[in-house]
């Protein structure tokens, strides 16, 4: 199953780059949803030799939440907010992709020098040599999306991508980590995204835009 784990991780890298490089908000949401589904399958695929009820439960929950519920919520916010469905980045798309590729190199370099709990590529552990770099890469990509995009919705997407990175790290490397922690993180994410989705809707109704630059309008008085 190691090849399938690698396939999922490569898919995560490609969706990250695609989200950085695409201009349509709807496409970005679908990409992040697809990534959520694939990453959500990791607990089952990665620990194929010893699948238990907890792993199946975690996979089901995260696929349902990150692949279907959260994207549906974001689509709803997108439609309700009635904004231009373009990403409007501060950094151009080719530049974002280049920064993404550069940070992938950085992550590979970094995780080659990092003592990990499970030796990468060790037989039977389901740990892939790619897991740590891809996890860090997802976190960096999420961060980049949060700081370089203008729309509030893209920042929610960046947050989700970051969470996917943390999830990857937890599932692929920290084998003994109780799944309860993962469930806790998952619940946090859903809560946060729910709040953000509703907030985006209200921001757009209040100031007719979800441009985060204009949130300064919410101050009491202008100086």
Partner 1 sequence: MAAISWANLLVGLCLAPLLPGVIARTKALFAGRRGQPLAQLYLDLWKLLRKGAVYSSVTTWVFRAGPVVGLAAAVAALLLLPLGGAPAVVAFDGDLILLVALLGALRFFLVTAALDTGSAFEGMGASREMGFSALAEPVLLVALAAMARGTGETSLSGMFGATIPGEWATQPHAMLLIVSALFVVLLAENSRIPVDDPNTHLELTMIHEVMVLDHGGPDLAFILYAAALKFWLLGALLVGIVVPLREIPPALAAATAVAGMALLAFAVGVVESCMARLRMSRVPQLLVGAGGLATVALMLELVRS
- Interface with partner 1 (CB under 8 A), residue from 27, 34, 64, 101: 101
Q: Based on the shown chain and the rule CB under 8 A, indicate whether residue 17 belongs to the binding site for partner 1.
A: yes
Tokens encoding 85? 């469905």
Closest contact distance (angstroms) between CB of 13 and partner 1 is 6
Tokens encoding 3? 């090849």
Q: Based on the shown chain and the rule CB under 8 A, indicate whether residue 14 belongs to the binding site for partner 1.
A: yes
- Interface with partner 1 (CB under 8 A), residue from 98, 110, 190, 199: 98
Closest contact distance (angstroms) between CB of 114 and partner 1 is 14
Exposed e or buried b for every residue in 68-87, given b needs 16+ CB within 10 A?
eebbebbbebbeebebebeb
Alpha-carbon gap, residue 145 to 205, rounded angstroms? 24
Q: How many residues bind partner 1 (CB under 8 A)?
A: 21
- Interface with partner 1 (CB under 8 A), residue from 67, 100, 142, 170: 100
Q: Where are the alpha helices (DSSP H) in 41-130?
A: 42-46, 53-62, 70-81, 93-112
Say if CB 194 and CB 73 are below 8 A apart.
yes
Q: Which is nearer to partner 1, 107 or 152 (CB)?
A: 107
Point out which span in 3-11, 67-75, 138-146, 163-171 binds partner 1 (CB under 8 A).
3-11
Q: Based on the shown chain and the rule CB under 8 A, indicate whether residue 3 belongs to the binding site for partner 1.
A: yes
Give the list of residues 6+ apart from residue 167 with CB closer than 8 angstroms, or none: 39, 40, 42, 62, 182, 185, 186
Q: Based on the shown chain and the rule CB under 8 A, indicate whether residue 108 belongs to the binding site for partner 1.
A: yes
Rg, C-alpha atoms of the chain? 18
Q: Based on the shown chain and the rule CB under 8 A, indicate whether residue 142 belongs to the binding site for partner 1.
A: no
Residues engaged in binding partner 1 (CB under 8 A): 3, 6-7, 10, 13-14, 17-18, 21, 93-94, 97-98, 100-101, 104-105, 108, 129-130, 133
């Amino acid at each position: 199953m190691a090849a399938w784990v690698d396939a999922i991780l490569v898919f995560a890298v490609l969706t990250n780059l695609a989200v950085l490089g695409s201009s349509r908000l709807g496409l970005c949401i679908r990409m992040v949803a697809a990534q959520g589904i694939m990453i959500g399958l990791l607990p089952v695929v990665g620990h194929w030799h010893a699948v238990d009820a907890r792993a199946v439960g975690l996979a089901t929950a995260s696929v349902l939440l990150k692949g279907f519920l959260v994207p549906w919520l974001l689509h709803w916010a997108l439609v309700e907010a009635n904004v231009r469905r373009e990403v409007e980045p501060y950094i151009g798309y080719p530049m974002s992709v280049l920064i993404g590729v550069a940070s992938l190199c950085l992550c590979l370099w970094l995780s080659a020098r990092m003592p990990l709990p499970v030796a990468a590529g060790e037989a039977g552990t389901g740990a892939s040599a790619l897991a740590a770099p891809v996890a860090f890469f997802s976190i960096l990509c999420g961060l980049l999306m949060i700081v370089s995009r203008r729309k509030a919705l893209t920042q929610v997407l960046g947050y989700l991508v970051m969470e996917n990175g943390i999830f990857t790290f937890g599932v692929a490397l920290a084998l003994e980590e109780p799944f309860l922690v993962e469930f806790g993180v998952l619940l946090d994410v859903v809560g946060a995204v729910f709040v953000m989705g509703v907030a985006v809707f209200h921001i757009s109704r209040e100031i007719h835009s979800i441009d985060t630059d204009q949130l300064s309008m919410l101050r009491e008085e202008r100086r």
